Structure 1
């Protein structure tokens, strides 16, 4: 714990360097890459106490402030489409899991390692079902980092938008922000006590979304707090990696990387088909269906002036569908395999 103070310093230096080179989302990508590099070189960088949680709190508040009545109406109008789009992403993951299982990987480990859901919930499910938890953690870490490294730059390049162009933001009204930040923290604590998933992300987001929609709040989080949140999340992602991580099982990590890249490409292809059918913008659909973290997809959508509310709602819908269906599907799959052997 005594080494944690150097982590935000290294992360901030990486973010500054990424900003100089106009890299997309520099505060999250630059900080993450800087922390990974220093840790792989042997630098003693520790986890920032409550860093990831406070970063999620800031970003979740920013996301919730986008859910104005107009955005909520747009989400309700696309509800069936969003629910339907969550299913193909899960089916793609199941095809990949079946391939890994046929290649000799334990089904339970492959299932919870490659299912596109929250990191912590899949690890807990893996523990309950006696899977290889280290491989599950490694797979989800690689998936998140690869999506952060690949998707935002590809989106900016496709949209031909310079990352140095700052999108217009609403002014920050502290008469609303202070109670919303406090209310979000309180909601996160209650969310955690109720054992609901990802409390410091979904709790503040839900609190701010309800108040914003009910009162038509027109404000935004200051850019400095947004950068702080991105810095904390980037440092937390980078903290999963060091030399030992990459040496542990290079063949498995290569499989995870190939699987993730195929998932990204397949998701974009599915989004293009659905977009042509329903006349919905490709980039909005692709970000909404992407099997990554809602945080990075939201930040990318915000920077590209896309439908942030729709992207976030689609990400939440995917997580809900996966978390509700994952363990029942896993149980049915195991039962099917046992019946085949009899």
Structure 2
């Protein structure tokens, strides 16, 4: 009990800071206020010297809520769309991977160690790239810093740009399906159990992919027409925003400003190049540009899903493209790295 109260002293203020930031962002009519506002508020107070801590299991429960919400979009009609565009989605995933490899080569030619640059700039899950970096004896602190900056920059840049381009006010609420607790309660509990099993078998990102897979299976099988209550969606966004903000403090920015500038330039270049690729593919295939851009964006599927949902875009397509990119990167990353190292040694 004493240990609980001791740890609580480190994080009790974090949700309060996050909620305050979210409410201010809502008042300012900022896109995705519950994730962006909370993230910026936590970063600000930590940089000012108040080192509010990470909420225990906060990010995991946030992912659990958002993953449930994502899975509820995979109706039979959406699955039919995904299957119809499978080849295009796979092509887009490989294009994103190729774009990242070109960027990594550029960073290598600027004097950065190949292994560190490779796992720092791969558009994949944060945790898996850090574990790969550890196995290959890379600079893990730089890998962690690069992925933290990448996620935060994409969250800060992409949703506002999308809202501005579409000329939709963030305060405009789209019609939501009713929340049917007859299905939601067992799906939430089953999602948590699936995540625990997923983690036991060391599968990637268990609290995101586990609940999402379960909800998608039941939604597609029974054509469910229900949605997560907006309050639980806000909770999920709040927890993820607070977790992202917790990666940063004054020392983080002082540690290696030159490296952080390189990461920022790389990430912004990736965003612009991804938009240009999406524009080209959309023009050739007659596919909606913003749906393609969000699907190809090298960020987190969570934030891209939330942006697509807020803009009333093809949420299922965006999520499926994000998942496909992660699968392609995870399958190709280490083999490509091995081949690349062999060629350099020759």
TM-score grouping bracket, smaller chain normalisation: over 0.9
**2:267 pairs with one of 253, 260, 279:** 260
2:174 is the counterpart of 1:167: yes
Q: Which runs of 5+ in 2 are unaligned?
A: 1-6
The aligned counterpart of 1:280 is 287
Query: How do 1:1-342 and structure 2 match up within 5 A?
Result: 1=7, 2-339=9-346
1:268 partner SS: helix
Alignment partners' CA distance in 2, 1:105 and 1:96: 12
Deviations 1:189-229 (A, max 9, x none): 11001100000000000000000000101100000000000
Offset at 1:167?
1.2
Alignment partners' CA distance in 1, 2:328 and 2:117: 19
Deviations 1:299-319 (A, max 9, x none): 000000000000000000000
Alignment partners' CA distance in 1, 2:54 and 2:310: 28
Alignment partners' CA distance in 2, 1:222 and 1:164: 17
Q: Which runs of 5+ in 1 are unaligned?
A: none
Alignment partners' CA distance in 1, 2:255 and 2:103: 22
1:131 partner SS: coil
Deviations 1:58-94 (A, max 9, x none): 0000000000011111111111110110011111110
The aligned counterpart of 2:3 is none
Offset at 1:3?
1.5
The aligned counterpart of 2:4 is none
Q: How many residue pairs get matched?
A: 339
Offset at 1:24?
0.1
Alignment partners' CA distance in 2, 1:217 and 1:177: 10
Q: CA RMSD in A?
A: 0.4
Deviations 1:238-283 (A, max 9, x none): 0000000000000000000000000000000000000011110000
Offset at 1:44?
2.7
Alignment partners' CA distance in 2, 1:184 and 1:6: 28
Offset at 1:48?
0.1
Alignment partners' CA distance in 2, 1:44 and 1:114: 28
